[in-house]
Every structure is written in structure tokens, then in C-alpha cells.
Amino acid sequence: MKVEIQSIHFKADRKLLEFVSRKIEKLLTFYEGIRSAEVFLRLENDAEKENKVVEVKINLNANIIFAKEQSTTFEAATDMVLDKLVAQVRKYKEKHQSKLVVNA
């Protein structure tokens, strides 16, 4: 799977990029049909302390799955967004497999 990570409004260090990439690649354990992932790490300038946003767009064959989370750290936001993505990937896989069974 190809993982593209973009940091917006700041320069991400290598440690953060490796952490995010490792986490996103874990999605392959739930569904092997994932083609690519785009990750956007963004700092929002607002009064809230939870100003670190992680957005992930996953390409599954012809379908797109998207999740977004905000937290005080990029690591926490990545963990939260991963939980959302795992649920969505599992749901997609179940629907996809049920269609294959019906068509067989």
C-alpha cells in the first residue's frame, strides 16, 4: 500500500511520519484490497488546546473511506482516526464479501 503523508502549516519530523505510516499500514491486516492512503496532518490556529488534526483518505479499489480526528497530539489523533477507519474497513469488507456470496 502506498501511504502519502502531508503536513500542513508545519514541518513534521521523521519520527512522527514513521509513526503515522506504521499505524496506517496496520489497516492491511483488516483488508488487503487497500490501494493507497493519503494522510493530512494539520495544525489549526484556534483558541482550543486540541488543535492537531489528522485526516485520512483510504482508496479501496473504486471506493473512498475518509476519517478525521482532532486531539492535543498527532499521535492521539492518529490512534482515534485509526479506530474509525478500522470500523469502516470492516464494514466495507463485510458488505463486499456478502455481495460475492450472493452473486456466487
Q: Tens digits of per-residue pLDDT, 48-63?
A: 677 899 999 999 878 8
Q: Which domains does the chain have, with CATH numbers?
A: 2-103 (3.30.160.100)
Of 15-19, 44-48, 59-63, 98-102, which one has max mean pLDDT? 15-19
pLDDT at 14: 95
HEC string of the chain? CEEEEEEECCCCCHHHHHHHHHHHHHHHHCCCCEEEEEEEEEECCCCCCCCEEEEEEEEECCEEEEEEEEECCHHHHHHHHHHHHHHHHHHHHHHHHHHHHHHC
- pLDDT band with cut points at 50, 70 and 90 for residue 32: confident
